[in-house]
Amino acid sequence: MRVQVLASADAVAEAAARRVRNAIRKKPDLVLGLPTGRTPVALYARLARMHARGEVDFSRVTTFNLDEFAGIPASHPGSYRAFMDRHFFAHVNVPRRRIHFLKGDAADVGAELLRYDTAIERAGGIDLQILGLGGNGHVGFNEPAKALDVGSHLVRLHRASRKANAALFGGRLADVPEQAMTVGMRAILAARCVLLMAVGEEKADAVAEMANGLITTRLPASFLQTHRDVDVLLDPPAAARIRRRR
């Protein structure tokens, strides 16, 4: 795990955007794994600007989003699909057929989860997985638990995670779905490269445990220590409790 502490949240977004742009220039048919959350918003805004300036072409890129709320359709304004359309897909040229999402309102949830893992495999796996970090150490919606499902699965959201997402539902916690679908640790850890972004002091504890603690399902991001190509980009508040390796 390579940890880099940059000057500000803006610098984190800029470095991440350059990394994505360069990866697409090198491999125009890149398979990108994408997160939602407040953290990547600045990354998506920068990629949209780079695209507008003609610096990056997404026409052959394939994307897989990490997670989606269960029980709501993609057209719901609170869905992660709607979030991604607003912040990213409306501003770049990823072809619709190459944008992949878990379908939150699927009638057969088991079949939907299987479909998603199969689609990721058929695409050849994820080349570059971008990740945010939950304040409780979740990645995607792999919530801390006694045991973790390895593949895509349905998960009961922790109250803290629902609270962190309430803004998408007009600030009303009661309206945030109680369950979500998420890719599992297998697809994340099978990605060829991982780029995790974390900013703000509310991430400092999770960052320190992720980088310095034991590997534990109680902090799903700690499994990234087992991956050979992980870059972690932090702003100084997020890095405040980390112990640097000599």
Q: What positions carry a catalytic annotation?
A: 67, 136, 138, 143
Cβ atoms of 132 and 198 within 8 Å: the answer is yes
Residue with tokens 């890149």: 30
Looking at beta carbons only, is 27 or 37 nearer to ligand GLP? 37
33 exposure class (CB count in 10 Å sphere: 0-12, 13-18, 19+) = buried
Binding site for ligand GLP (CB under 6 A): 35-39, 66-67, 132-134, 140-141, 161, 164-165
Strand order of the sheet with strand 179-182?
Answer: 67-69, 179-182, 153-156
Minimum CB–partner distance for residue 26 and ligand GLP (Å): 25
Looking at beta carbons only, is 54 or 207 nearer to ligand GLP? 207
Residue 38 CA from chain centroid, whole number: 11
Helix axes 41-52, 80-87, angle to 10 degrees: 40
Residue 51 identity = H
Looking at beta carbons only, is 51 or 138 nearer to ligand GLP? 138
Minimum CB–partner distance for residue 106 and ligand GLP (Å): 18
Looking at beta carbons only, is 8 or 59 nearer to ligand GLP? 8
Minimum CB–partner distance for residue 52 and ligand GLP (Å): 24
Tokens of 53: 């300036």
Rounded to whole angstroms, how far apart are CA atoms 225 and 213? Answer: 9
Minimum CB–partner distance for residue 65 and ligand GLP (Å): 9
Tokens of 172: 């009303």
Minimum CB–partner distance for residue 157 and ligand GLP (Å): 8
Residue 213 identity = G
173 exposure class (CB count in 10 Å sphere: 0-12, 13-18, 19+) = exposed
Looking at beta carbons only, is 134 or 184 nearer to ligand GLP? 134
Question: Which of 94, 160, 149 lies closest to 116, judged by CA?
Answer: 149
